[in-house]
Amino acid sequence: MRLAGGAREVLDAERLVQEYVSPRKRGLRYAYPYYDGLVTNSDPTRLCTGDLLAPTLLGVHIDPDRMHTLTALMPLLQRGLDQLGSYDLVEADDETCDQVAALYDPLDDPSVEDRDVKGSLLAKVLHRKRPGLVPLFDSKVQIFYQDEACVPPAPPGGRTVREFMVLLIRAMRQDLQDNADEFAQLAALVPSGGPPITPLRVLDIVVWMSSLV
C-alpha cells in the first residue's frame, strides 16, 4: 500500500490494524474499542461535554483549562458539523474538504492558542461525531504527510490551521481513493461485536502504527 501521494509505502497494513483492534484482557496499549465505541449521548452526531473528554482515551491530557476552552468552542463546532454533508471523505468534493478544514478556524484565534488547544486535540473530539469524514491526526501523522505532493513546508509567512488542514484532508482523501478496496477490507478486521471503524479511521491507524516500527 502506497500512501502520502505515493511517497510512503506500508507493507504490513493488515498486521498493523489487526494488532490495534485485537482484544486484550489486560495491558491495553491502544484506544480501540473504547474510544471508537464510547457512548456520550443518545444522538451520536451532537456534541456534549462528555465528548470533550474522549481524547483522554487516545492519551491526551484534558485539564480544566483545556476543558474550559473546548466547552466554549462547542456551539461553533456543532454549527460547523451541522453544515457538513452526509459524505465520507473518500467521496467528498473539494468544497466539502474545505468545510471540514473550516472546523478548525477558531484555533487561529490567539486567545485559543494560549490555552493549548491544538488541531490534533480538536480532531480527537470531532472525529467521533463524523468518523467517516473528519480525520484524526497527531504529530506522527503530520510527519508522515510532510511531502511536496501532500503537505509541503510552510511558506515564509507560515500558514493558518485551516490552510494546513485543507492540505492534509485532501491528501488523506487521495489515499482513501487510491486504496479504496484495501481500506474496506482492513475496516472489516474489527472483532465480532466490536464497534465498527471507517476506512478513514483505518488510515489513521495504519499511518500511526507504521510510525512506531
The SS3 call for residue 189 is coil
CA distance 169 to 136: 10
Task: Select from 152, 147, 36, 132 the least CA-distant residue to 89.
Answer: 132
DSSP annotation of 106: G
Q: What is the pLDDT of residue 149?
A: 85
Distance CA 96, CA 99 (A): 5
Residue 25 has pLDDT above 80, yes or no: no
Alpha-carbon gap, residue 113 to 137, rounded angstroms: 18
The Cβ-side half-sphere exposure at 127, using a 13 Å CA radius, reads: 27
Least confident of 42-56, 74-88, 107-121: 107-121
Q: What confidence tier does 39 reach under pLDDT thresholds 50, 70, 90?
A: very high
d(CA 67, CA 138): 19
CA atoms of 66 and 133, how far apart (whole Å): 24
**Which pTM was predicted?**
0.94
pLDDT on residue 167: 97
**DSSP readout, 18-78?**
HHHHS--SS---S-TTHHHH---SSSTTS--GGGGGGGGGGT----HHHHHHHHHHHHHHH
Q: 3 pairs with which residues across the strands?
A: 8
Rounded-to-integer distance, Cα 107 and Cα 186, Å: 33
- Dig out the grid coordinates for 31 from the structure: 484506544
Please provide the DSSP assignment of 127-143 as one string. Answer: TTTSTTTS----HHHHH
The percentage of residues in the chain with a pLDDT greater than 70, rounded to a whole number, is: 97
For 166-195, how does the pLDDT look when each residue is reduced to its tens digit (9 = 90+)? 999 999 999 999 999 999 999 999 999 999
Tens-digit pLDDT profile for residues 70-109:
999 999 999 999 999 888 999 999 999 999 999 999 998 8
